[in-house]
Structure 1
C-alpha cells in the first residue's frame, strides 16, 4: 500500500462507496477508500429478511444514546453498519427519496443548487430500476431498484389503507408522495444490493483504486488551513496517509463529526474540555442531529395467513439458498404509506411502514403467535440533538443525544398516527385477519395515555442526519459544494451534510449526496430534472 493518494475517502458506507467508485472512473486519479469493518459477503447481509440479526454484532458500531430526558430516561440503541457498504449493508433496503418540499426547503435556506429538480439527475444516475421508468427513474445505473413482491398479509393491509382514504400509488418516488404503495427496494436476484456490491464490484479491479479494511481514521491532518491527509489506526499501529487533492469524510452522521472533532474542527470550547487542541472553531459540528421517531402498533393475525411468522424456519433458508426466493427475500417493510396527521401541513409528516410480522425492540422481542406491525415513522421532526466526543481516542464513542420528542407537538402527531393506524386495521379488508391489538393494547385509549405510552416505548428509524450539515460557518460545517468551511481540500460526503432530515428513509438521499460529492470534485454539473421531479407536496 502506498502512503500518498490523490483522494482519500474515509468510510465505505452508503455514500463512501459511491464517491470512491465514481472518482476512480478517472484512471489518472489515485483513490484510497478506508473502512473500519470487514467485507460484506455474509449471510446476514445478503439475505434480505436477516438484516436485524446484525444489530449488536461485530458488524455494528453499536452506538447507544445518552439517557433521553423526554423518553423517561431511556437510552436508545443506534445500530450503524461497520462493514463494507456501511448501513446500506444493514438496513431494510427501502429506496425512498423523500419529498420535493425537503430539497426545495434546503435551497431556500441557503443550500444553493439542491432543489428537487437539481438533485433528481443524481438520483437517476445511480439507479437501475427494473419496474419504473419515465422522468423520475433511471436505467443502467449501478444501484438496482425493484418493487417488492409482498406477502398476502401485506396486500390486504394495503387494501385496508385504501379503504381508510389512502390513494393507491405505483411509485412513492414519482409525482406524488401522499398515498400507499409496495416498497421499492435495493434487491437483485433475491439478495440485498448494497452500495459496496453495486458500486465497487467492478471498480475494485481498477489499479487506481485501493480499498483498505480494518482501519479506523483517527484524525484528518490539517496544516496551514489545508487537509494534507489522515492518520489511521490499524491494529496497534498508527499510520500517516497523504492526500494531494482531497480528503472526503463519509463516516456517517456519528462518525464524521467524531473525526472532525478529533481533528480539532468543531466547537472550540468543547474540544479543549476533552483534550483536543482546536484547529478551527466551527460550532455546528456535531450539532443539529436529527432522527425520525418510530412507533410500532402490533396486531395478532387470525385465519390461515401467517405472514412472516415462520421466516426463521430452516425450510425457508433452504429454499433461499437453492432458489433465492421465498420469505427470506422480504425486506420486512413490504409496503409504505405517507400521510399528513394535520391536513394543513405542506407535506406528509408520517411514513407508515407495513410489516407482515411482529417487530418490536429492533426485532429482538418475539411474540408467540403470528402478527403484523404498522410502523409510524414521524418524518417531520423538529427536535435537534448532538454528537460530541468525550476523548481524542478513536476507540471511544461520542456521546449521542437525540433529544427526541422535545416538543409536545411531535408526540401529538404520533398519537394522531396511532389513531390512523387503528382506523386502518378496522377496515373491512382485514375482516377475518385482524386479531387482538398487542401494542399499545385497547386499554391504552385516550390521548394522554397514548402520549405517555409513546414516550415510554418510541424508538427511531435508523436515520441520523445533519451533524456536519450544509450551512454558514455559524450554522453548518460545509458549503453547498460540501467543502468544510475554513479548511481547504476537505469535504463532507454523507447524511451528516443534510441541512435537515428528509421525509422518508435516508438511504437513497445519501447515495445521491455521494454522487453529488464526486461530481463536485470532478467539476461536473448535470442538467436539472423536469418540473415536479420528486414527489410533489400536493
Structure 2
C-alpha cells in the first residue's frame, strides 16, 4: 500500500473532507485523506430524523466527559462522528452561521483573514441552495443548504409563540439582528447532505485524491528534532526520560504513523500534514506527537517536540438545558411508523426529513448586560424540537411532546482535553468545566434562558398545542417555573455538540496555530477544524468548520 502524497489530511469530517476535496482540485498535487471510521454506508446516516440512533454505535466515537460537579456530578455524553463526513454525518443538520461580531472577534485574535467580511464569500460558496430567491444563494459551492421540506405544524406554533412573546421573527442567518426563524438545514431534497456527500463524492473520480477508511493515526512524525532514533515495531520508542528537544533546526513534519488492519504504517507527506480531527482528536494527536504542555507529556512518557501549554486548553462548548411539555398528536413521536419510512423512501417527505431542531431564536438576557457583553449581541439561543428530546438522545421518545431548550452561547467557563495515556486507542479525558466560572455568570444566564422558555410555553400559541402535563422534568406540573428551571439545569443539561478552541489560532506566541493555521514550533504541520476557533460562535459550529476547511485550502494554495 503506497501511503505517500504531497498532502496528508487526518480526519474526513466537516473541515477535513472539504479541505481534501479542495486541495485535490489542483491536478498537480496528490492528497491522502485518512479517516479512522468506516465508510458512511448505513441508511441512518442519510435519513435526517434518525441521527440519534447513531449514538453509541459504530459511527460514533462515543465520548463521555468526566463528572461535572455543577451538573449533579453527571458525566455528559459527547457523540462525535467516526465516519466519512465526521460529525456532519451525525449532527442535527442545523445551518446556523452565527453573528458577524463572532468572526470579527476571531479577526481581533488571528488577523483580518478571519473577519466576517473575509469569510462571507466562503459561506456563500458553501451555501448553494435550491431556491434562486434565497438570500443565501451561492454560485460555486458543493454543499446544499435548503429550507425544511416538511416541518411539523408545532414549529409554526412555536414561532407564533415567539411573536406573541415580543420576539422578532426574521429570516435565518442574518449577520446581525437575528431573531427567531425556522432553521435552514444541510440537506439535499430531504436527505442529509454531509461533507462526504457534498465534497468527497463529487471528487471520487480524481486520481490524485485517495481516501483510506479504518485508518487510525497514531502520531505525527518529524525530522530532524525527533529525539529518539531507535525503533520498536516500526515506530520510534518513547524516551524513558523525556525532555524538551533541542534540534539543530525547526522540526519538520514528515508524515504520520497510521494503523490500518492492525498494522502500523508510515504515511509520508512531501509537503504538509494537516490535522482535521476536531476539538477532541486533534489536541489528543498533537500531544501524542510531542506537542503540548511539557509536564503533561512527561507524565505519559512522550518525547517533547514543542512545549505548547495551550494545546488541549481553552475548551468551550454550548450547554443546552431543555424543558419538554406534553403535546397533542402529530409530533415526531410518530416518525417510526412504517408509513413514514415509505413516504420518505418514495417521496423524501414526511417526518423522517425532519432535522428535529426545526426552529431557533436568539435573545439577550439581563445577565448579558451585567457581564459586560457588547450591546446588541445575544447570550442565549432558544432551540425548538417538535418532540421530547430527553435522555441525551439515548432513550426512545417517551410520548407526544415538544422541547424548548436554552443554549448558553458564550460560556465564561473553560475546560480541557488531556491524555488518559500515551496509547492512541485510549479516549482522551474531556472536562468541559460546565458552569464553573467563579462569578456564576453561566448559571444565571442558563436560568434566565429557561425562564424565557417558560414564558413561551405560557403563550396562547403553545397552550393550544400542549396538555398542561410535563415529560421533562417529570412531574413538572407540580413545580413552579423556577423549580423546573433549576432541576432542568442540574439534572438534564447536556452538550449541544459544539466543542471548540483546543488548538486556538492567534497572533500571540502562546496560540497553538498562527493565522495561517500552521502549528507553532514546527514546520509542515497545520490544523484545520473547530479546534482552531479562538471563541465559540453564537451559532452552530458545522457551518464555520466547513468554512475553515475551505479557507485552509486557499491558504495552502496561496490564494489568501
Which of the five TM-score ranges fits, normalised by the shorter chain? over 0.9
1:133-282 alignment, distance < 5 Å: 137-149=137-149, 150-171=151-172, 173-224=173-224, 225-282=251-308
Residue 391 (structure 1) aligned with residue 392 (structure 2): no
**Deviation (angstroms), 1:163:** 0.7
In the other structure, the counterpart of 1:530 is none
CA distance in 2, matches of 1:452, 1:471: 39
- Are the structure 2 counterparts of residues 276 and 473 from structure 1 closer, same or farther at C-alpha, using a change threshold of 3 Å? farther
**Deviation (angstroms), 1:363:** 2.0
Helix, strand or coil: the match of 1:466?
coil
1:525-536 alignment, distance < 5 Å: 525=560
- Are the structure 2 counterparts of residues 140 and 519 from structure 1 closer, same or farther at C-alpha, using a change threshold of 3 Å? closer
Helix, strand or coil: the match of 2:113?
coil
CA distance in 2, matches of 1:379, 1:121: 25
- Are the structure 2 counterparts of residues 317 and 464 from structure 1 closer, same or farther at C-alpha, using a change threshold of 3 Å? same
Asked whether the 8 Å contact 2:530–2:545 carries over to 1, the reply is: yes
**Deviations along 1:296-346, whole A, 9 cap, x unmatched?**
1101113xx421111111211122122221110000111111111227343
RMSD over equivalenced CA pairs, Å:
1.7
1:371-390 alignment, distance < 5 Å: 371-390=401-420
CA distance in 2, matches of 1:501, 1:133: 30
Helix, strand or coil: the match of 1:424?
helix
Asked whether the 8 Å contact 2:95–2:543 carries over to 1, the reply is: yes
In the other structure, the counterpart of 2:10 is 10
Using CA pairs below 8 Å that are at least 6 residues apart, which structure has the higher relative contact order?
A: 1
Helix, strand or coil: the match of 1:232?
strand
Give the length in aligned residue pairs: 522
CA distance in 2, matches of 1:449, 1:307: 23
**Deviation (angstroms), 1:504:** 1.2
**Deviation (angstroms), 1:40:** 1.1
Helix, strand or coil: the match of 2:382?
strand
**Deviations along 1:126-178, whole A, 9 cap, x unmatched?**
2212237677541341000011242111111111111111111122x124343
Residue 439 (structure 1) aligned with residue 472 (structure 2): yes
Question: Normalising to structure 2: TM-score of the pair?
Answer: 0.90
In the other structure, the counterpart of 2:232 is none
In the other structure, the counterpart of 1:529 is none
**Deviations along 1:335-360, whole A, 9 cap, x unmatched?**
11111122734311111111111111
In the other structure, the counterpart of 2:228 is none
- Are the structure 2 counterparts of residues 375 and 139 from structure 1 closer, same or farther at C-alpha, using a change threshold of 3 Å? farther
In the other structure, the counterpart of 1:507 is 542
CA distance in 1, matches of 2:24, 2:129: 24
Question: Normalising to structure 1: TM-score of the pair?
Answer: 0.94
Residue 58 (structure 1) aligned with residue 88 (structure 2): no
CA distance in 2, matches of 1:405, 1:133: 42
**Deviation (angstroms), 1:72:** 2.3
CA distance in 2, matches of 1:452, 1:11: 38
CA distance in 2, matches of 1:386, 1:421: 30
Partner of residue 360 from structure 2, selected from 318, 336, 342: 336
Asked whether the 8 Å contact 1:283–1:474 carries over to 2, the reply is: no
CA distance in 2, matches of 1:110, 1:2: 37
Partner of residue 443 from structure 2, selected from 411, 424, 430: 411
CA distance in 2, matches of 1:427, 1:451: 21
Helix, strand or coil: the match of 2:417?
strand
Asked whether the 8 Å contact 1:267–1:281 carries over to 2, the reply is: yes
Helix, strand or coil: the match of 1:83?
coil
In the other structure, the counterpart of 2:379 is 349
Residue 462 (structure 1) aligned with residue 497 (structure 2): yes
Residue 425 (structure 1) aligned with residue 457 (structure 2): yes
Asked whether the 8 Å contact 2:3–2:32 carries over to 1, the reply is: no
Helix, strand or coil: the match of 1:129?
coil
Asked whether the 8 Å contact 2:221–2:253 carries over to 1, the reply is: yes
In the other structure, the counterpart of 1:118 is 118
CA distance in 1, matches of 2:175, 2:72: 40
**Deviation (angstroms), 1:362:** 2.3
In the other structure, the counterpart of 1:363 is 393
Asked whether the 8 Å contact 2:15–2:528 carries over to 1, the reply is: yes
CA distance in 1, matches of 2:545, 2:442: 25
**Deviation (angstroms), 1:473:** 6.2
1:446-457 alignment, distance < 5 Å: 447=482, 450-451=485-486, 453-457=488-492
Helix, strand or coil: the match of 1:44?
helix
**Deviations along 1:464-513, whole A, 9 cap, x unmatched?**
11101103565321011100001111100000000011111100000010
**Deviations along 1:9-38, whole A, 9 cap, x unmatched?**
000000000000000000010000000111
CA distance in 2, matches of 1:244, 1:144: 33
Asked whether the 8 Å contact 1:412–1:451 carries over to 2, the reply is: no
In the other structure, the counterpart of 1:39 is 39
**Deviation (angstroms), 1:74:** 1.0
Asked whether the 8 Å contact 2:451–2:485 carries over to 1, the reply is: no
CA distance in 1, matches of 2:110, 2:154: 45
CA distance in 1, matches of 2:354, 2:136: 25
**Deviation (angstroms), 1:364:** 2.6
- Are the structure 2 counterparts of residues 109 and 471 from structure 1 closer, same or farther at C-alpha, using a change threshold of 3 Å? closer
Which 5+ residue runs of structure 1 have no aligned equivalent? 526-538
